[in-house]
């Protein structure tokens, strides 16, 4: 670990000031401390934000959900409002990491977590995200867990968060406060594809602090769920995952929200799948037809070619699970 200073922010204002001076926010520390130990991260100043009053979880007036950035993963997963209104959120969290990690880790940190690419985490390997211009070791290396969508020649790492897949499906908004005041951005624009600047992972300006994530109201009744496919039963990132939310009325799908994880450099929204579903009646054939569109534009690498077909099947399965067998 490289030497660093550590301070504890007692107010949002104080945190932002420290952040503006180059301080790095630390919440649960489950991503950051890990990477500091590997010397992938070398912050000079840590600003501990866990004491800030940003951990409320509440329903918004028109039926949406607002989750404070410092709410712990475990607490959000157990929250009755969350479980009732957006079960997919609770499912994604419960399928994440381990119980110990979920007790420490925060929602803001979860969305901000960095790639799990082995080369990124090994400072002796070239990696454009860690050291722009040094090259991407995964491109020609071992890339079984890497992305097939949203990749560039500069980086092919997936965004590892499960929760962010649900938030992307549901078109959540990221609320931030910074030196220039408040700001909100849809999560789909907040998380950035690598392009030719893979080191820029989020649309977050110096000193800006995430204060909350907000899921907009959706027509009710709403069925939602999250499916995660992985080698072992627990404690592993997704090979593929899918979040689905459907509003079905009068036997017709009126609203469909679908996004996939484990396949994209950011959580991958699937508008083609959504469009195919809307206005149609649920049926096994419909799930299959919609799922056929899930991997459009996929560019598989040497070891992750299986993800293309696996993604389609995961989408089909989850549409059936959420949409029912009708």
Partner 1 sequence: MTPQPAPRPARQPQAAVGTPRSRVDGRLKVTGQARFAADHGPADGIDGIVHAVLVDATIGRGRITSIEARAALAVPDVLTVIHHGNAPRLPYRDNSFPDSIHPPGERLRAFQDNHVRFFGQPVAVVVATTLEAARHAARLVEVTYDAEPPQLDLVTAPAHEPDIYTRGDAAAALASAPVQLEMTYRMGRNHHNAMEPHAIVARWDGDRLTVWEKTQWVADPRNELAAVFGIPQAAVRCYSRFVGGAFGNSGRTWVHSVAAALAARELRRPVKLVLSRRQLYFGIGFRPAYEYGVRLGSERDGRLTAVVHDVRGETSRYERHSDDLALGRMLYDTPNFRQDVRLVPLDVNTPTWMRGPGWSTTATALETSLDELAHELGIDPIELRIRNEPADDPATGQPFSTRRLHECYTTGMREFGWHRRSSRPRAVREGDWLIGMGMAAGAYPAESAPAQAHARLGADGTVVVRSASSDMGPGTTTSMAQVAADALGLPMWSVQFQLGDSMMPPAPVHALAWTMASVGSAVQATCDRLRRKAVALAVGDDRSPLHGVPADEVVVRRGWLHTRADPRRGETYQQLLARNGRTHLEAVGGYEPPEEIRYSMYAYSAIFAEVAVDARLGIVRVRRMLGVFDAGRIVNPKLADSQAHGGMIGGLGQALLEHTVTDPRDGRILNANLADYLVPTNADATDIRAIYIEGVDNEAAPIGVKGLGEVVQVGVAPAIANAVFNATGRRVRDLPITPEALLMPR
Contact stretch for partner 1 (CB under 8 A) within 13-21, 59-67, 118-126, 188-196: 118-126
Question: Which spans in the chain are helix H?
Answer: 12-20, 32-37, 73-78, 80-85, 87-94, 99-104, 107-112, 163-169, 187-190, 271-277, 284-292, 306-323
Q: Nearer to ligand SF4 by C-beta: 92 or 138?
A: 138
248 phi/psi in degrees, rounded to 5: -115, 125
325 binds partner 1, rule: CB under 8 A:
no
307 phi/psi in degrees, rounded to 5: -65, -25
Q: Nearer to partner 1 by C-beta: 215 or 263?
A: 263
What is the smallest separation between the CB atom of 141 and partner 1, expressed in angstroms? 5
What DSSP state is assigned to residue 149?
B
Residue 80's CB is within 10 A of a number of other CB atoms, namely: 9
**What radius of gyration, in Å, describes the C-alpha atoms of the chain?**
19
Order across the sheet with 45-48: list the strands.
Answer: 5-8, 45-48, 24-26
Q: Are 199 and 154 in contact (CB under 8 A)?
A: no
Q: For binding to ligand SF4 (CB under 6 A), which residues are involved?
A: 115, 117, 119-120, 127-129, 136-138, 155-157, 198
Q: Which residue is nearest to ligand FAD (CB)?
A: 109
What is the smallest separation between the CB atom of 140 and ligand SF4, expressed in angstroms? 10
What DSSP state is assigned to residue 92?
H
Q: For binding to ligand FAD (CB under 6 A), which residues are involved?
A: 24-32, 34, 49, 69, 73, 96-97, 101, 104-106, 108-110, 112-113, 160-163, 209-210, 237
68 binding partner (options ligand FAD, partner 1, ligand SF4, none; Cβ < 5 to 8 Å by kind): none
90 binding partner (options ligand FAD, partner 1, ligand SF4, none; Cβ < 5 to 8 Å by kind): none
Number of residues that bind partner 1 (CB under 8 A): 31
- Rounded to whole angstroms, how far apart are CA atoms 233 and 89? 19
163 binding partner (options partner 1, ligand SF4, ligand FAD, none; Cβ < 5 to 8 Å by kind): ligand FAD
Q: Which residues bind partner 1 (CB under 8 A)?
A: 1-3, 39, 116, 118-119, 122-125, 137, 140-142, 229-236, 239, 306, 309-310, 313-314, 316-317
């Amino acid at each position: 670990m490289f030497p660093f200073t550590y301070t504890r922010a007692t107010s949002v204002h104080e945190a932002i000031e420290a952040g503006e001076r180059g301080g790095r926010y630390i919440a649960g520390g489950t991503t950051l401390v890990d990477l500091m130990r590997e010397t992938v991260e070398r912050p000079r100043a840590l600003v501990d934000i866990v004491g800030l009053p940003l951990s409320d979880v509440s329903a918004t007036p028109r039926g949406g959900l607002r989750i404070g950035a410092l709410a712990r993963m475990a607490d959000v997963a157990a929250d009755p409002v969350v479980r009732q209104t957006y079960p997919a959120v609770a499912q994604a969290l419960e399928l994440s990491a381990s119980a110990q990690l979920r007790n420490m880790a925060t929602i803001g940190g979860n969305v901000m977590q960095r790639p799990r690419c082995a080369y990124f985490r090994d400072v002796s390997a070239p990696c454009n995200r860690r050291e722009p211009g040094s090259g991407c070791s995964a491109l020609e290396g071992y890339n079984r867990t890497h992305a097939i969508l949203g990749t560039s020649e500069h980086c092919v790492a997936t965004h590892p968060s499960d929760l962010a897949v649900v938030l992307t499906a549901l078109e959540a908004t990221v609320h931030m406060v910074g030196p220039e005041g408040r700001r909100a951005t849809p999560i789909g624009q907040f998380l950035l594809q690598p392009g030719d600047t893979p080191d820029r992972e989020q649309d977050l300006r110096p000193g800006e602090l995430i204060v909350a994530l907000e899921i907009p109201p959706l027509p009710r009744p709403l069925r939602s769920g999250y499916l995660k496919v992985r080698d072992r039963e627990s404690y592993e990132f997704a090979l593929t995952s899918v979040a689905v939310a459907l509003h079905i009325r009068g036997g017709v799908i009126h609203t469909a929200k679908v996004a996939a994880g484990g396949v994209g450099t950011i959580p991958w929204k699937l508008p083609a799948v959504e469009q195919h579903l809307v206005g149609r009646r649920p049926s096994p054939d419909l799930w299959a037809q919609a799922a056929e569109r899930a991997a459009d534009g996929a560019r598989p690498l040497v070891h992750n070619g299986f993800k293309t077909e696996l993604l389609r099947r995961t989408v089909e399965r989850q549409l059936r699970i959420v949409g029912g067998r009708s």
